[in-house]
A = this chain, B = another copy of it.
Amino acid sequence: MRPALRFLLAARQSELHGLEQLSHTCQFVSLVGELVHALQKERGYSILTLCQDRADLLPALDAYTRGAESGEARMRGFLDSVLARGSEQPGRARLYSCIAYALYRLDELPDLRWRVRQRKLDAQGASLAFTRLVSSLLAVVFEAADASLDAGITRLLVALLNFMQGKELSGQERAYGVMGYTAGYFTEAQKVQMAEFAAGQQRCFEVFGECAPADVMPAWQQVQPHTEKVQQLRGMARQTHAGQALDPGLAELWFELCTARIDAMAPVEQGLADTLARQCAQRIEAARAERDNHRSLLDQFAQHVGGQSPAMLFNVQRRVLDLPPEDGVAGGIERSMLDMLQDQAARMRQADQALAQARGALDERKRIERAKWLLVQKHGLTEPAAHERLQRAAMESGMSLAEVARQVLDQPAGRR
C-alpha cells in the first residue's frame, strides 16, 4: 500500500485506540469516584466518632468502613486491566505514579482505621490522613483526564473533575464542621476556613455548571434544597463564639444535613460518568465507521493503480501516462484522498481549538499547582503555607487565584 495511505490509516487506528483507552479510563474514574464517595462518608463519621466518644456510633462507623472496603475492592479489581492495557506505552508515567501513590496511601488505611478505633489520634489527625488519601485518589482522576483527545469528552471530564473537587470540599467542610459543632463554637480561624470551603465549592460548581450536559441538571436541582439547609447551619456557625456556645448535639444534625446533601450529589456524579461513557461509545463507533470508510476507499485506489504511487508513474524527464491524473478514475480517488487528508487536518485543528477552550479549567488548576510548588521550592514553604500565600495574594489584589499563579510563574526567576 502507498505509504501516505498507510499513515492515514494508522492515524485513524491510533485515534481509535486513544478513544478506547479513554473509555476504559472513564470506567476507572467512575470506580475511583465511588470509592472517594465512600471514603468521604467514612472520614466524616470517623471525625464524629472521635469528637463525641460514644460507643453507640461504632456500628455505623463499621458499616461505613465496609462500604469503603468494597469500593476499594472494586477499584483494585479494575487495576489489573489498567496495567494490561498500557504498560508498554509511553506517556503513562504520570498516571502510574499517581496510582502508585494512591495505592500506598490506601495500604495505610487499615492502620488508620485501627488508630481511629483505639483513639490513638485526634479528629484533626484523622481528618488530615483521610483527606490526604482522598486527594491522592483525586490526583489519579485529574491525571487520567489529562489524556483526553476529544473536545466534547474533555468538556464532560472538566465538568466531572470540578464536580468531584466541589464534592470533596463539601466533604471536608462536613468533617471540619463536626469539630466546631462538637466544641459548641467556631474560632475566628475556623470561621475563615469554613468560608473558604464554601467559596471553593461555589467556584467548582460554577465551572461544573458551565460544562455540564443538560441531562444531569435535574439531578443537580435535587441538591439545592439540601444546600439551603446546610446554608442555614453555616450561618449559625458564623455567629458562634467562645462566649456563645451551641448545643454539641448539633454536630450530629450538621453531619446528617451535610451527608444528605453529599449523597444527593452522588447521582449527579454518576449521571456525568454515564454521559461520559455514552459519549465515548459514540465517538468510538464514529471513528470505527470512518476508518472502515477510509479502508474501502483505499481498496478502490489499490485496484485502480495497482498500489503504485504517482511517483512511479512519472519521472523527471517524461511522463509515462501523458494524461494528467486529474482526468481519470484514479484522479478522482487521488482527489478524495487529498480531501480526506485535508478534512482530517481541519478536524484536528478544530479539536485543538475546542480542546484548548475545554481544558481552560484544567490548565488553570495545573498553573495553580505549579505556582504553589514553585513557592515551596524557592522559599522552603510547606505545601499548605504556599497555598495560603497564593490565596492571600489573590484576596489582597482582587485577582483570581489563576491570575496570581500566572504572575508568579511569569516572574523572572530572581524575583519570585
Contact = CB atoms under 8 A, between A and B. Distances in A.
A304 interface: no
A3 B316 contact: no
A14 B83 CA distance: 11
Interface residues of A, number: 79
A150 to B, nearest CB: 11
Contacts of A349: 369-370, 373
Contacts of A353: 370, 373-374
A3 B90 contact: no
B356 A87 contact: no
B96 A311 contact: no
A314 B108 CA distance: 9
A88 interface: yes
A232 interface: no
Interface string A301-330: 000000001110011111100000000000
Contacts of A91: 14, 18, 91, 147, 149
A3 B101 contact: no
A380 interface: no
Interface string A100-134: 11011011111101100100000000000000000
Contacts of A89: 14, 17, 89-90
A229 interface: no
A206 interface: no
B149 A103 contact: no
A203 B361 CA distance: 31
A2 B100 CA distance: 10
A9 B374 CA distance: 27
Interface stretch (A154-162, A210-218, A340-348, A396-404): A340-348
A311 B22 CA distance: 30
Q: How many copies does the complex hold?
A: 2
Nearest to A373: B349
Contacts of A96: 7-8, 10-11, 14
Interface in A1-35: 2-8, 10-15, 17-22
A110 B7 contact: no
B93 A15 contact: yes
A106 B311 contact: yes
A385 to B, nearest CB: 16
Interface string A332-354: 00000110010011001110110
Contacts of A2: 103, 107
Interface in A279-314: 309-311, 314
B7 A341 contact: no
Given A107-B309, A114-B314, A352-B370, A100 B14 contact: no
A99 interface: yes
Given A13-B88, A14-B93, 19 more contacts: A2-B103, A3-B79, A7-B103, A8-B97, A11-B93, A11-B95, A12-B93, A14-B88, A14-B90, A17-B88, A17-B89, A17-B90, A18-B93, A97-B344, A104-B338, A107-B311, A111-B319, A350-B377, A356-B370
7 contacts: A3-B76, A3-B79, A7-B96, A14-B86, A14-B93, A15-B93, A352-B366
